[in-house]
Every structure is written in C-alpha cells, then in structure tokens.
Chain A
C-alpha cells in the first residue's frame, strides 16, 4: 500500500504539470510496427497523450535483445518502455538489461479485484508484466489451393500435396516445434524431444524437405504481405497480422490453427531508461482493463487480465465479435502449444548455432536430392 500511496502522490504531482507537456521530453516506446502498432496507437498511445499530456515517440524493432544491448552499451538509453516477448523479458532480466518490475504500480480491476489476482497466472515477471497472448500460426493463400485446403501442420511440410513457396521467419522459432509435430509427436512432449540432439536432428531433417521452397522473412508485417501478393502459398506469422490483412486489407488469407504456438508479450522498462517514472505511469495506463479491451477490439490478441477479456466487444469496422477471434478462444485451444519461454530463453544460443549450421549446410540436402 505504501508504494501505491507514493505512486498516487506522484500522479497528483504529475497531473498539474500536464499543461507544460510541450516542454517535456517524449516517452519512447519500442514496439513492433504495422497493424499491431496501429492498435496500440488507438488503445494506448493517443489516449495516454491526451490524459497525461506527455508525447509518445514510437521506435520500431523486430524483437530480440540485440537492439537493447546496443542501446545500453553506454549505460543509458532514451528507450523508456519496451514491448517484448516474455522469453526476451526473462533473458533481459537475467542479463540486467531490464529494471526490476514493481507490480504495485498496476491498477486494480474496476470491481476492486487486486491486479495480482486479475492478471492470468504467471503474468507478473520479475522485470516485466505480461500484457497479451499472441499466437504464431501458419496461414495460407486461398487462391493457391482452390481445391483441398491445408489443415494441419503436417500439410505445411507436404509440398507434393500442397505445392507452393513457404514463408518462414528467419529464426529458429516455431518451425522446430512444427517440424516435430508433423511427425505425430504429442504437444506435451515437444520440448522434451527438442531438448535432445536426436529431436533437433529430426526437426531439421523435416525442414530439409522444404528447404528449396522457403522464403525467409524477418519483419512481422512481411508474411501477410507475401501471401497477399501471391509470392508464397503458405506463411508463418502472427495471428493478429493475418487477421488484419483479411479484415482491413481484404486479402484471401486463412489461418491453420493446428499447432498454433501461444506466447506472451510483456511491457518492461530498460534498466538505464531516462524517464522511468513516466514509463511506469504508461504501463499502469496501458494495463488498465478498458485499454486492453480496446486494443483487443482492433487486433485479436488476448489481454492478460481477466477483467479485460470480459470487456472485449466487436471490431469497430467489420463488427466481428473479437472474443471469438482470440487465439485463446475455447475452440482453438484443442491443438495449441504454449511456447515454453524458459526453454526458449535457455536454448537461444544452441538453437541459433544449429540453425546457422543448417542454413550453411546445403550440401547434405543437395546430396539427398
């Protein structure tokens, strides 16, 4: 309570200063761009600017911690708030890149439920607070498959039945899980098997089969664009982007929900941030249930607060009921895999090494062909 009171005092002090906001330095929020950033602008950035009077400058990145490491090379940064994957939040915390997070700054739910109980389990990390659940999925271009539609992860690796280019993120993520899944490995054993050399070998052997059909992407907006333009027939990507491309861009994109990989995004403050107090104020604002629900109306990512989930309504333009579009909707959880962020954080170097070796080692597959 003590901290809360102090925080309330800070708020009281800040509010009268709103008039002088023009002179204040902007709050730098680092996020992912595209339709996702747009939804954040509508739900968080603009209302925050109006309420507090501080200006928000958005920097764009593609995930990972290299950018933050570079920023912090001289010990300080003008990055104030980062929207990052929970895996990166764990690693960044361990490496001291992120400031410890104090859950006392979070607002309670409107019905008075304390934030600790309103957030889903495991949302409060030591250096970050989980704000949403997103999903990495496979989507396909309807025009590429006018007849039989691909339905499973195994179909993604089957270039004979479902010919066409595949777009994959150029990082050892998701594809490893999907490769094992395509052998019939049950969800609960995926990470145990990927922890063995044999499991990794099997996964990369599966990728060998589609090696010549892969188009790599790095920017989260690319896969939807590749599908829309018809450059690839199937692509991995984030469910919200594909949704947006179909709803707002009228692109004929369908999502294969089989084997969807659920993961969390979290808000964190870099350890050398120059405006830590304003950053905390922003996180408190952006994790308010009504704000979270507002974002979920624009892009189908599941808020990490129970009270926010209950407030999600229709998409403002198409009137799609957005709660059913969330990756965590009941009917989509049957084959979902929760990405194991602890495993991801600890195997980062191993995965990168194996992936690099696989990319360079074109000879084996050439010999097999």
Chain B
C-alpha cells in the first residue's frame, strides 16, 4: 500500500468519524438537557413551577427511580451485555484488539445514559460520550481498506472527537485518546486522532457556536508558598478519589450480592437520589450550577460543602454500582470542586496566611480529584488550560494533579477503568502484551498431527512407529482417547519390547486444556519435558493436540512484534 493512499484514506476516515462523533456528542448532551427540562430536573425548569411545590417535590422523588426502572429494563431486555458500556469497554477493545460489544448494545447503553442523566441520576455524561465516539470509530474500523491496525486508530479518532466536542477542548481530546484509550504514541495513530479532534472542535464552534464550558477569572497565584498547599491539596484529593473509586467498586459488588433482579437495581439507587435531593437538590444530575457556586466565595458554608461531598460520593457510587448508565468523570469533577472549595475555605479559617482566593483551590481540587479516577493526568491538565485559557491556573492545577496521581497510582492503581477492567479479567498493569497474551488461547496454536499410540500397544510397535516420524516422543491415550502419558525415545529404546505403552508412559507435569492462555503456557515453560506438552479437553480429558515449546514462544513473539509494529508506525 503506498503511503499516499494511506494518508488520504486515513484523513478522510478521521474527518468522517470526527464529524459523526461530534454531532452525536452534541445530540447526546442536548437530548439529556431536554429530558432534564421536561422532567423538572434542571433548576431552570423547577423554578418555573415554584408555585406548585408539591409537583416539584413529587417530580424530585419519582423521576429518578422511574428513570432507573426504565434504564434497568432497557438494559436487561434489549442489551446482550445487560450492562451499560463505557470507556473501560473501549479500552479493552483497543488494548487487546478485540471487537467492541455490538452496535445495538452500544445504542441501548447510550439511550439508557440519556435517560439516566435526563432523570437526574448522579452519573456523568462524558463516559457515555466517549463510548459513543468509540462506537462510530468501530464502525469505520470494520471497513476493509487494507490498512493495518485500523480499528484502534478509528476508535481513538471517535473518542478524541467526542471529548474535543464535549469540552470544547481539541487538545484535551487528542491527549485523552492517547493517554487513556490507545496508550501509545505512534504517528500512524497520532495524525488521524488530531484530525478527528480538530473536526470535533470545528463542529462545536462553527456549526453550533458552543460557549466555553467553564469560564473563571483568576488573576494569578500571589504567594509562592501556595504551591505547597496545592501539592497538599492534591494528596488529600487522592485519598478522597481512592475512597470514591473503592466505593464505586464496592457498590457494584454489593449490587451483585443483593440477588435483586437486575432490572430493578437502578430504581433503588434512583430512589436514594430522589430522597436526598429533596434536601440537597445539587446532587441531581451533572450539577452545573453547584460547580459554578463552588467557585464563589460564601456560596456554600463549610458544613454544606462537606455534606455535599459525602452525599455526592455515596450517591454516585450507588448509581454506578446499581446499574445506571453513565460516567464517573463529571461527578468526580463536582466532588473535586466542592472538596477544593472546602479546602480553600477551611484554609482561610485555619491558617492565618494570605491566599489567592477560593477559585484556584476549587479548580485544583476539581482536577486533582478527577484525574486519578480516569487515570489521565496529562488530559486533565490540558483540560484546565483549554477551558479556562488561564496559564497561572493551569500551573497551579498541574501541581495538585501530579501529586494526586502519584499517591493514587501507588495506593489504588492507574484508574477506576483499569480496576473495572481487572475485575473482568484483563490486567492492563502487566502491560498491553501481558493482557493480550493472557487472553490469547493456546489451543489456536496447538499441533494436531503428532505421534500417538494406545495404552495397550507394545513397546515394539511403538518403536517401529517412531522410526517413521521425526518426533522425540509419542503420546499415549486410552480407548476413549484420554491422555495417559508421554513416551520419550529413550524410554522406548530402553524398555522391554513386550511391555505395554500404558505402563511405560510418564505423565507430563504440564498439561494444558482449551482454556489455557499463552501467558499461562509461558509461565510453565520451565516445567516442559520432551518436545511438546499435551493439550486435553477440560471436560473429559481427551487429548486434543500437543503444544511444542517453539509454538508457545512463536505465539508470544508474534503478539509482541505485532504490538511493537503498531506502536511505532509512521503515517
């Protein structure tokens, strides 16, 4: 394939994916906002009915659980996966080069996310948008265009465009796709994701004239010692983030353990949201208003901030764990900014030092808490920069983000996504090849043409047979084809010709079955005896094939080389 062909095709594809993902992202946000307005979740809609407080209270209590019931039923009846899909699924797909769940499942999950957000569940909008972008990428990745590793690049494009559009931040979209989804920086992937990200930005700005998502004014950090405080704030945020992530995972396990039907679980979480929202309306939905209030000095008292942080953490964990469809990033942003505001407020009460005001501590908290959750320090730093266009603020947030990530990485791991992925059996902490080897089946590489004899055959017969083959060993099975043992050449030559093969055979210490992964095979290489290890059916012990050492090593090298090629490709 000529480079020229590749460049033209990749450019066209990335523009198409970028535009589709951007329109989808905008449609998604607008749809959720529309439902918010109709169902009296948005404050602006609620205030229009302030003459009828009973109606508003009824909507507050009823809308989230009914939305939950809808989401639960939709996922249970319409989706093959029976659960919401999110960035974790896109990551697994790209990292292990497996297809995404079906497009239909993706649509169901997206629809469920619109209802979840629309009904005020305490979940985020960016996770579903990332997945939406990935879905369109996956569609394009299936095209037969003769370009290697197209799927990963295309999913990266979709995700980059979705983030670029959602935050009105093209650089953040590009960085996010690399840092979280692709996890490598080949030029082959970099160029198209950049184009897709820019396309998303153009759509958001030229076609729709979206306003910047978060405008704050900040004059600059006034005292150098405050950078120490930013670092301290980052460390504290890491602990809150770890608590948040643990609680999300715990709620997921709790939901499994309750033995409630899957379809009604989100309803319970919705009920909790509705009841809490009667007192604390801020916990519903994205909480754009609370996000703004947190940057205003005196809008919340310290007690209110603390209560909101706790409530938002608990309800978000409940909503995600109990099966609402939605992300964790926007709740993390809100928890972070409230916690940051609390930190800033208490600081001014406790420490008799001048500070640069509440805004910078609020923003630092927001980013420092959100970045370990999605495992993307670089992305969050870029997001601050692109959203606020404020250099001083970005540098301050950078310090908090870095310390938060350091602590959270040590104590928890890379991100909530990686923890969710680990729970599904993929350990990305082993590196990408590790995860792929752990899921590549050895059975696909086994040899089926090998010397075999029955247990009752005499050694004389075996000796004659072995002369005709190059193999150093013969595999012995019983009348049902079950593996009995292995005969090495030396055993055959040295033993009595009248002795039966079954008596002389030695069971190989390494026996694989059809579920064995290449990674497990690699780990047991040192126990290999003879030229090949048997691979038997796990159900009845029938010998299916054998696996020579060279096959294991060859499979390992194939995967490693392929990944290295992908990650070092040029345009």
When C-beta atoms are compared, the residue in chain B nearest to A196 turns out to be B43
- Other-chain residue from A193, A205, A349 in contact with B289 (beta carbon distance below 8 A): A193
Contact with A along B266-302 (1 / 0, CB 8 A): 0000000000000001000000110011011011100
| Contact of A195 with B47 in the complex, beta carbons under 8 Å | yes
Stretch of B103-111, B210-218, B438-446 lying at the A interface:
B210-218
| Contact of A198 with B211 in the complex, beta carbons under 8 Å | no
When C-beta atoms are compared, the residue in chain B nearest to A183 turns out to be B296
Give chain A residues whose Cβ lies under 8 Å from the Cβ of B43: 192-193, 195-196
Is the CB of A333 closer than 8 A to any CB of chain B?
Answer: no
**Known contacts A186-B215, A196-B281: does B44 contact A191 (CB below 8 Å)?**
yes
Count B interface residues, CB 8 Å: 22
| Contact of B293 with A193 in the complex, beta carbons under 8 Å | yes
Q: Shortest CB–CB separation between residue B286 and chain A, in angstroms?
A: 11
Is the CB of A347 closer than 8 A to any CB of chain B?
Answer: yes
| Contact of B47 with A350 in the complex, beta carbons under 8 Å | yes
Q: Shortest CB–CB separation between residue B52 and chain A, in angstroms?
A: 11
When C-beta atoms are compared, the residue in chain B nearest to A353 turns out to be B50
Q: Shortest CB–CB separation between residue A297 and chain B, in angstroms?
A: 33
When C-beta atoms are compared, the residue in chain A nearest to B281 turns out to be A196
Contact with B along A78-106 (1 / 0, CB 8 A): 00000000000000000000000000000
Q: Shortest CB–CB separation between residue A197 and chain B, in angstroms?
A: 8
Question: Quick one: which of B291-328 are within 8 Å of A by CB?
Answer: 292-293, 295-296, 298-300
**Known contacts A189-B288, A347-B50, A349-B51: does B296 contact A195 (CB below 8 Å)?**
no
Give chain A residues whose Cβ lies under 8 Å from the Cβ of B423: none
Give chain A residues whose Cβ lies under 8 Å from the Cβ of B293: 193, 198-199, 202
Is the CB of A161 closer than 8 A to any CB of chain B?
Answer: no
Q: Shortest CB–CB separation between residue A264 and chain B, in angstroms?
A: 20
Contact with B along A198-233 (1 / 0, CB 8 A): 110010010000000000000000000000000000
Q: How far is the CA of A62 from the CA of B46 in the complex (A)?
A: 30
Question: Quick one: which of A331-356 are within 8 Å of B by CB?
Answer: 343, 346-347, 349-350
Contact with A along B211-240 (1 / 0, CB 8 A): 100011100000000000000000000000
Q: Shortest CB–CB separation between residue A121 and chain B, in angstroms?
A: 15
Is the CB of B354 closer than 8 A to any CB of chain A?
Answer: no
Give chain A residues whose Cβ lies under 8 Å from the Cβ of B430: none
- Other-chain residue from B47, B295, B296, B298 in contact with A346 (beta carbon distance below 8 A): B47
Q: How far is the CA of A343 from the CA of B46 in the complex (A)?
A: 11
| Contact of A185 with B47 in the complex, beta carbons under 8 Å | no
Q: Shortest CB–CB separation between residue B472 and chain A, in angstroms?
A: 77
Question: Quick one: which of B400-414 are within 8 Å of A by CB?
Answer: none
Q: Shortest CB–CB separation between residue A200 and chain B, in angstroms?
A: 9
When C-beta atoms are compared, the residue in chain B nearest to A191 turns out to be B44
Is the CB of B48 closer than 8 A to any CB of chain A?
Answer: yes
Give chain B residues whose Cβ lies under 8 Å from the Cβ of A343: 44, 47-48
Is the CB of A184 closer than 8 A to any CB of chain B?
Answer: yes
Q: How large is the interface on A (under 10, 10 to 19, 20 to 34, 35 or more residues)?
A: 20 to 34
| Contact of B296 with A192 in the complex, beta carbons under 8 Å | no
Q: Shortest CB–CB separation between residue B390 and chain A, in angstroms?
A: 13
**Known contacts A193-B289, A198-B299: does B47 contact A188 (CB below 8 Å)?**
no
| Contact of B217 with A188 in the complex, beta carbons under 8 Å | no
Q: How far is the CA of A188 from the CA of B211 in the complex (A)?
A: 8
- Other-chain residue from B46, B51, B299 in contact with A202 (beta carbon distance below 8 A): B299
| Contact of A202 with B296 in the complex, beta carbons under 8 Å | yes
When C-beta atoms are compared, the residue in chain A nearest to B212 turns out to be A186
| Contact of A205 with B298 in the complex, beta carbons under 8 Å | yes
Give chain A residues whose Cβ lies under 8 Å from the Cβ of B298: 202, 205
Contact with B along A42-63 (1 / 0, CB 8 A): 0000000000000000000000
Q: Shortest CB–CB separation between residue A319 and chain B, in angstroms?
A: 37
Q: How far is the CA of A193 from the CA of B43 in the complex (A)?
A: 8
| Contact of B289 with A196 in the complex, beta carbons under 8 Å | yes
Q: How far is the CA of A185 from the CA of B288 in the complex (A)?
A: 12
When C-beta atoms are compared, the residue in chain A nearest to B292 turns out to be A189
Q: How far is the CA of A192 from the CA of B33 in the complex (A)?
A: 13
Give chain B residues whose Cβ lies under 8 Å from the Cβ of A188: 211
| Contact of A192 with B44 in the complex, beta carbons under 8 Å | yes
- Other-chain residue from A185, A195, A205, A349 in contact with B292 (beta carbon distance below 8 A): A185
Q: How far is the CA of A199 from the CA of B296 in the complex (A)?
A: 10
| Contact of B289 with A184 in the complex, beta carbons under 8 Å | no
Give chain A residues whose Cβ lies under 8 Å from the Cβ of B42: 192, 195
Q: Shortest CB–CB separation between residue A204 and chain B, in angstroms?
A: 13
Question: Quick one: which of B194-216 are within 8 Å of A by CB?
Answer: 211, 215-216
Q: Shortest CB–CB separation between residue B303 and chain A, in angstroms?
A: 14
Give chain B residues whose Cβ lies under 8 Å from the Cβ of A191: 44
When C-beta atoms are compared, the residue in chain A nearest to B295 turns out to be A184
Give chain A residues whose Cβ lies under 8 Å from the Cβ of B217: 184
When C-beta atoms are compared, the residue in chain A nearest to B49 turns out to be A346
Contact with B along A172-193 (1 / 0, CB 8 A): 0000000000011110110111
Give chain A residues whose Cβ lies under 8 Å from the Cβ of B215: 186
Give chain A residues whose Cβ lies under 8 Å from the Cβ of B211: 186, 188
Q: Shortest CB–CB separation between residue B293 and chain A, in angstroms?
A: 6
Question: Quick one: which of B2-46 are within 8 Å of A by CB?
Answer: 42-44, 46
Q: How far is the CA of A183 from the CA of B358 in the complex (A)?
A: 12
Q: Which of A188, A205, A346 has most B Cβ within 10 Å?
A: A346
Give chain A residues whose Cβ lies under 8 Å from the Cβ of B288: 189, 192
When C-beta atoms are compared, the residue in chain B nearest to A180 turns out to be B296
Q: How far is the CA of A217 from the CA of B211 in the complex (A)?
A: 36
Q: Shortest CB–CB separation between residue A151 and chain B, in angstroms?
A: 15
| Contact of B299 with A195 in the complex, beta carbons under 8 Å | no
When C-beta atoms are compared, the residue in chain B nearest to A342 turns out to be B48
| Contact of A350 with B292 in the complex, beta carbons under 8 Å | no
Give chain B residues whose Cβ lies under 8 Å from the Cβ of A183: 296
| Contact of B48 with A192 in the complex, beta carbons under 8 Å | no
Give chain A residues whose Cβ lies under 8 Å from the Cβ of B281: 196
Q: Shortest CB–CB separation between residue A237 and chain B, in angstroms?
A: 27
Give chain B residues whose Cβ lies under 8 Å from the Cβ of A202: 293, 296, 298-299
Q: How far is the CA of A186 from the CA of B289 in the complex (A)?
A: 12
Q: Shortest CB–CB separation between residue A62 and chain B, in angstroms?
A: 25
Give chain B residues whose Cβ lies under 8 Å from the Cβ of A350: 47, 50-51
Give chain B residues whose Cβ lies under 8 Å from the Cβ of A205: 298
When C-beta atoms are compared, the residue in chain B nearest to A188 turns out to be B211
| Contact of A347 with B48 in the complex, beta carbons under 8 Å | yes
Give chain B residues whose Cβ lies under 8 Å from the Cβ of A193: 43, 289, 292-293
Give chain A residues whose Cβ lies under 8 Å from the Cβ of B216: 184
Q: How far is the CA of A44 from the CA of B298 in the complex (A)?
A: 51
| Contact of B289 with A185 in the complex, beta carbons under 8 Å | no
Q: How far is the CA of A174 from the CA of B50 in the complex (A)?
A: 20
Q: How far is the CA of A191 from the CA of B293 in the complex (A)?
A: 13
Question: Quick one: which of A236-257 are within 8 Å of B by CB?
Answer: none
When C-beta atoms are compared, the residue in chain B nearest to A205 turns out to be B298
**Known contacts A189-B288, A193-B289: does B48 contact A184 (CB below 8 Å)?**
no
Give chain B residues whose Cβ lies under 8 Å from the Cβ of A185: 292, 296
**Known contacts A188-B211, A193-B293, A196-B43: does B48 contact A346 (CB below 8 Å)?**
yes
Q: How far is the CA of A193 from the CA of B216 in the complex (A)?
A: 15
Q: Shortest CB–CB separation between residue B219 and chain A, in angstroms?
A: 11
Q: Shortest CB–CB separation between residue A179 and chain B, in angstroms?
A: 11
Give chain B residues whose Cβ lies under 8 Å from the Cβ of A189: 288-289, 292
Q: Shortest CB–CB separation between residue A206 and chain B, in angstroms?
A: 10
Q: Shortest CB–CB separation between residue B297 and chain A, in angstroms?
A: 8
Q: Shortest CB–CB separation between residue A346 and chain B, in angstroms?
A: 4
Give chain A residues whose Cβ lies under 8 Å from the Cβ of B300: 198
Q: Shortest CB–CB separation between residue B144 and chain A, in angstroms?
A: 45
When C-beta atoms are compared, the residue in chain A nearest to B50 turns out to be A350
Q: How far is the CA of A347 from the CA of B46 in the complex (A)?
A: 10
Give chain B residues whose Cβ lies under 8 Å from the Cβ of A184: 216-217, 295-296
6 examples of A-B residue contacts, CB within 8 angstroms:
A184-B217, A186-B215, A194-B47, A195-B42, A196-B281, A202-B299
Q: What are the nearest 4 A-B pairs in CB distance?
A: A195-B47, A195-B43, A346-B48, A186-B215
**Other A-B pairs, 8, CB within 8 Å; known A189-B292, A202-B296:** A184-B216, A186-B211, A192-B44, A192-B288, A193-B289, A195-B47, A195-B289, A198-B300
